[in-house]
Amino acid sequence: MSLIAILLWLPQIMLAQVSGLSPELTELIRLSVEKDRKLAATHIDREITLQQRKAVRSSYYPKLEAGGKYVFAKSPLNLELGEITGFESFGKISQFMQSPSFPQMFPGLAGLTGELMQLEQLLAAQGMALPALSKEMDGNFTGNYFGVDLSAKVLLFSGGKVPRISHALTEKASAQEQLTRKSTADLIAEVIAAYDQLALLGQSGLLIDESSQRLDAEKRFASSSLRNGFATTYDTLRIAAAEAALEAKMADFKGKKLLLSQNLSRLTGQPASRFSNAFPDLQPLLPVANTSTIANRPELMALQSGLQAQKYMLGAEKSHYLPKVQAFASARYDNLFDAEANFKSPMNIGVDVNSMTLGPALMAGVGFKWDIFDLSGGSSKVKLAKLEVKKAANELEEARELLELNLTKTTTALETANAQVILKSREKAVAEKALEMASKSYNEGQISITERLAAETSYQQSALEYLQAVYAQRQATIELYKATGDLNIENIK
């Protein structure tokens, strides 16, 4: 099948596989995908999101905590009491025992009363008194404390917040994966464009070489003709001018090739010298991508995942008003040792504590927390989440419209590019035939050197325009693959 027939048939082909790429270009694409730092950064961002999701899910894992402390304490103790009640009857008993009727009613206790009074008088004579209750407490305390505790907690019900946030992070990771696909597609298109420019430049250089060789032959022919009187000095000047024009084109060619070689080296990590002497062929890409839908477009899929993520976040904020249930268990041990307390009042006494142990105390149970009314953390965040959902939905619909328009644009551009390749192919064939006839006629002396050089220039222009048309067709094909979301590393062969 001829090239023209294939190009006419292209719009009917509905395959997503990108074929027509040379093995070298396929290799360069894979090298660039492996090297690109932006792609590596997007992969890292996605891994961060997955780790965040893992951290959220770990809320249901049991948490075990252990703690302990040793404390040396020294502190004054001061206490002032109010009215003390309940001891009034003791004072009345003392008064009753001193009354004259007491010995008659309780003759057996009468002697005891006298002995108590004598003891009190004797103590007073010795500067001693029975302890008396005071309303003030004054003293100091020193001691050592050591305690340890072990506790376990497990979240039983988060009100639905944890699973919704986990789902939101899953959708975020999916969106990041789709954006990575978009970045990959952009990188593939950039590598193909740079490689095609190198091919276009290389084949343009071959045209310059061919023209230079023909001009060398014409120069020798013109010199011979000039000596024999069949040509004029003007003819040789025209050939020299054409040579100068070719040299200028060659200088421009070398500068552009150096720049393209360095750019491809940057993209692929290969040395620039690999591309310095490369002259890849430039042919139309076959076949075109499926032009029927934008369903595989990564930007669209990323926005869909983003919208779903915002809906999950809205559900998570609404769950703020649901109770959270947690189970817990703990064990605690406390020990007070080498402690001392001294009091000046209500009485002058001292107490030494060698050791006082509490525990181990064991506890287990279930608790819940229910935020019944919280305007600052509840309704305001729900309203904000609703606005985020609405914003994501608007962005999705706008993107869908723009991507549909872009698909139509790229499809039309490819049809135009295919038609241009057919046209420029025919024009090139005509110009090549005209050059052959002009060369023959000039050698036979039927036309002047001006007409011969005009045919040469016309052929160069037609051949270059054909190569540019092929380049444009390849770029239009790649843009159509991007428009349908089919430009990815899996579809490269």
- What are the residue ranges of helices labelled H in 332-485? 380-443, 449-484
Q: Parallel, antiparallel, or unpaired for β 324-345 and 349-369?
A: antiparallel
Average pLDDT over residues 155-178: 89
Average pLDDT over residues 238-254: 73
CB neighbour burial string for 28-50, b if at least 16 within 10 angstroms, e if fewer: bbebbbeebeebeebeeebeebe
Report pLDDT for 310: 93
CA–CA distances in Å: residue 237 to residues 400, 450, 457: 62, 11, 16
Report pLDDT for 31: 92
* CATH class of the structural domain 3-62+159-317+375-491: mainly alpha
Average pLDDT over residues 253-269: 86
Q: In this predicted structure, which of 43-57, 198-212, 449-463 has the lowest mean pLDDT? A: 198-212
Mean pLDDT score of the chain, rounded to an integer? 80
pLDDT over 70 (residue 474): yes
User: Both tokens of residue 450?
Assistant: 């001006």
Cα angle 376, 381, 384 (rounded to 5 degrees) comes to 135
What is the C-alpha to C-alpha distance for residues 302 and 16, in angstroms, rounded to an integer? 20
Report pLDDT for 395: 94
Average pLDDT over residues 480-489: 89
Q: In this predicted structure, which of 51-55, 234-238, 264-268 has the lowest mean pLDDT? A: 234-238
Average pLDDT over residues 181-210: 86
What is the C-alpha to C-alpha distance for residues 453 and 256, in angstroms, rounded to an integer? 26
More confident residue, 382 or 418: 418
More confident residue, 258 or 106: 258
Cα angle 422, 426, 428 (rounded to 5 degrees) comes to 115
Average pLDDT over residues 420-426: 94
Report pLDDT for 13: 44
Report pLDDT for 156: 84
Question: Where does the pLDDT of residue 117 fall: very low under 50, low under 70, confident under 90, or very high at 90 and above?
Answer: low
- Phi, psi angles (nearest 5°) of residue 63: -115, 125
Average pLDDT over residues 1-10: 47
Per-domain boundaries in the chain: 3-62+159-317+375-491, 85-132
Report pLDDT for 400: 94
Half-sphere exposure of 228 (CA within 13 A, CB side): 8
What pairs with residue 148 in β-bridges? 68, 333
More confident residue, 329 or 319: 329
pLDDT over 70 (residue 115): no
What is the C-alpha to C-alpha distance for residues 415 and 290, in angstroms, rounded to an integer? 14
The one-letter amino acid code at 479 reads E
CB 306 within 8 A of CB 173: no
Residue count of the chain, please give it.
493
- CB atoms closer than 10 angstroms to residue 54: 11
CB 335 within 8 A of CB 354: no
What pairs with residue 365 in β-bridges? 328
What is the C-alpha to C-alpha distance for residues 391 and 377, in angstroms, rounded to an integer? 21
Question: Which value, to the nearest 10 degrees, does the dihedral of the CA atoms of residues 49, 50, 53, 59 take?
Answer: -130
Residue with tokens 């789902």: 167
- CB atoms closer than 10 angstroms to residue 397: 12
Report pLDDT for 134: 59
Those residues with Cβ within 8 angstroms of residue 193's Cβ, 6 or more apart along the chain or in another chain: 475, 478
Smallest Cα–Cα separation from 60: which of 151, 161, 149?
Answer: 161
Q: In this predicted structure, which of 392-396, 449-453, 485-489 has the lowest mean pLDDT? A: 449-453
Average pLDDT over residues 204-212: 71
Q: ω into residue 287 within 30 of 0, thus cis?
A: yes
More confident residue, 442 or 148: 148
pLDDT over 60 (residue 262): yes
- Residues 357-389 have pLDDT tens digits of 887 888 888 887 777 766 665 678 888 899 999
- What are the residue ranges of helices labelled H in 229-297? 233-268, 273-276
- Residues 436-447 have pLDDT tens digits of 998 888 777 787
Average pLDDT over residues 39-50: 92
What is the C-alpha to C-alpha distance for residues 476 and 296, in angstroms, rounded to an integer? 18
pLDDT over 50 (residue 6): no
What is the C-alpha to C-alpha distance for residues 24 and 12, in angstroms, rounded to an integer? 28
Those residues with Cβ within 8 angstroms of residue 101's Cβ, 6 or more apart along the chain or in another chain: none
